[in-house]
């Protein structure tokens, strides 16, 4: 199950990278992205 989690996190990270490089996000999407990044930071340690 560890490998599945890592794969999911990796996929999520690539999505987040795409979002980060896009300046067309509205405020809600930016907040969602920041929340996701925070969750990733917390769950990866």
So what's the pLDDT on residue 44?
A: 65
Task: Give CA separation, 43 vs 3, 15, 36, in Å.
Answer: 15, 17, 10
Q: What confidence tens digit (pLDDT) does each residue in 1-45 have? A: 788 888 888 888 788 777 776 667 678 888 887 888 888 788 765
What is the phi/psi pair of residue 26, to 5°? -85, 175
So what's the pLDDT on residue 36?
A: 82
So what's the pLDDT on residue 42?
A: 83
């Amino acid at each position: 199950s560890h490998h599945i989690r890592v794969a999911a996190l990796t996929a999520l990270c690539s999505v987040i990278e795409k979002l980060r490089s896009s300046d067309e996000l509205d405020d809600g999407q930016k907040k969602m992205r920041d929340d996701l990044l925070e969750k990733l930071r917390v769950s990866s340690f």
